[in-house]
A and B are shown apart, each in its own frame.
Chain A
């Protein structure tokens, strides 16, 4: 009904040749669409936010116990915005290997985000550079999960949908890091209530939605096989196994039928 009203109003205004009112109406409509897309993004990101919250809380807690002051812990979450890479870099610093080794270790874990922003290219194409900068900054593993929910909302190419999801996750990430850093103790054990499993559960749960049919059997087999190879024979390079698995799987999909 609302859509019909907007369409009729737009046709009426364009017919009456009132350019000012027509432009104003179209701008209002666009702003309303953007708001709706952002809200859907926030809503669909909620389960991932819950999963990330346990991780962020753990990071804040560990950071304060590892010699980080609260401002440093919050700054790291605000600037890096990558759970596992923050934990690994912090761990390396505590081991006393120095900032260069800590940065390399953290960056190695974040390399997979390069693949995520690559697969989000169509969402940000033809946007201004500051939109691209903001959109890529907010990209995380959870953005891939959002790609799946975007399909059912017909918003696979909506920049604002992904912005809403990413920004809400970023907000939660900063808040929980702050809580963890300030409390530093007295937080109930996440294992007791199963929250440590949330991050595994959400990615397992989105797997069926990513399945495109038989065409995915070979690429997924290659991806999983590569990860298992690294995990079993080269466990110290397991994070490279993750990146290699995704790349080899995608290569298998690309080279098929060629």
Chain B
């Protein structure tokens, strides 16, 4: 098992780095104008939208309610950190109440 762990640690470490550097190299060869540029510009937002969707489709009702409240607080205050801490406090309180 020990050897298998080390092979996985180094193998995954190397492949992860190659994945990271490939993204940069790929983007540096893409045109800086037109459709490719528009796509790259939209990519971070699409990635976060996908990530949130993935997290929420497996979420409980409590997580959905708290998630919506976090979204509203962040949209109104423009302070994502404040919204995150409110969400953590709210979900902890609701769980303590046995919901």
Residues in A whose Cβ lies below 8 Å from that of B12:
76, 79-80, 85-86, 89, 102-103, 106-107, 110
Within 8 A of A (CB), among B1-31: 1-2, 4-17, 19-24, 26-28
Task: Tell whether A13 is near chain B: CB-to-CB under 8 Å.
Answer: no
In-complex Cβ contact of A209 among B7, B35, B47, B78 (8 A):
B78
Q: How far is the CA of A197 from the CA of B70 in the complex (A)?
A: 11
- Expressed in whole angstroms, the minimum distance between the Cβ of B95 and any Cβ of chain A is 7
Known contacts: A114-B20, A205-B83, A228-B53. The answer to whether A121 contacts B15 by CB under 8 A is no
Known contacts: A208-B75, A242-B51. The answer to whether A220 contacts B8 by CB under 8 A is no
Q: How far is the CA of A68 from the CA of B15 in the complex (A)?
A: 20
Within 8 A of B (CB), among A217-243: 219-220, 222-224, 226-228, 231-232, 238, 241-242
Known contacts: A98-B4, A191-B95, A253-B46. The answer to whether A120 contacts B9 by CB under 8 A is no
Q: Do A72 and B26 touch across chains, with their CB atoms under 8 A apart?
A: no
Q: How far is the CA of A211 from the CA of B80 in the complex (A)?
A: 13
Q: Do A249 and B57 touch across chains, with their CB atoms under 8 A apart?
A: no
In-complex Cβ contact of B43 among A69, A110, A115 (8 A):
A115
Interface 0/1 of A55-85, CB less than 8 Å to B: 0000000000001110010011001111001
Q: Do A110 and B67 touch across chains, with their CB atoms under 8 A apart?
A: no
Stretch at the interface among A31-39, A136-144, A173-181: A136-144
Q: Do A223 and B55 touch across chains, with their CB atoms under 8 A apart?
A: no
Q: How far is the CA of A102 from the CA of B55 in the complex (A)?
A: 23
Q: Do B21 and A117 touch across chains, with their CB atoms under 8 A apart?
A: yes
Q: How far is the CA of A69 from the CA of B2 in the complex (A)?
A: 9
Task: Tell whether A212 is near chain B: CB-to-CB under 8 Å.
Answer: yes
Chain A minimum-CB-distance residue to B94: A194
In-complex Cβ contact of A80 among B16, B38, B44 (8 A):
B16
Residues in B whose Cβ lies below 8 Å from that of A137:
17, 20
Residues in A whose Cβ lies below 8 Å from that of B17:
136-137
Known contacts: A76-B9, A219-B42. The answer to whether A201 contacts B49 by CB under 8 A is no
Interface 0/1 of B39-72, CB less than 8 Å to A: 1111111111111111111110001001100110
Q: Do B24 and A136 touch across chains, with their CB atoms under 8 A apart?
A: yes
- Expressed in whole angstroms, the minimum distance between the Cβ of B50 and any Cβ of chain A is 4
Q: How far is the CA of A117 from the CA of B1 in the complex (A)?
A: 33
Q: Do A107 and B45 touch across chains, with their CB atoms under 8 A apart?
A: no
Residues in A whose Cβ lies below 8 Å from that of B8:
76, 89, 93, 99, 102-103, 106
Residues in A whose Cβ lies below 8 Å from that of B53:
223-224, 227-228, 231, 245
Q: How far is the CA of A115 from the CA of B30 in the complex (A)?
A: 13
Interface residues of B (CB under 8 A from A): 1-2, 4-17, 19-24, 26-28, 34-59, 63, 66-67, 70-71, 73-75, 78, 80-81, 83-85, 87-92, 95
Please name 15 pairs of A and B residues whose Cβ atoms are closer than 8 Å in the assembled complex, sorted by A. A79-B14, A81-B16, A85-B16, A99-B4, A99-B7, A114-B22, A117-B20, A198-B88, A201-B84, A207-B52, A208-B80, A210-B48, A241-B50, A250-B43, A250-B46
Additional 13 contacts, C-beta under 8 A, given A103-B12, A209-B74? A47-B80, A47-B85, A110-B19, A117-B27, A136-B23, A145-B48, A149-B80, A192-B95, A212-B45, A223-B47, A224-B53, A250-B43, A253-B38
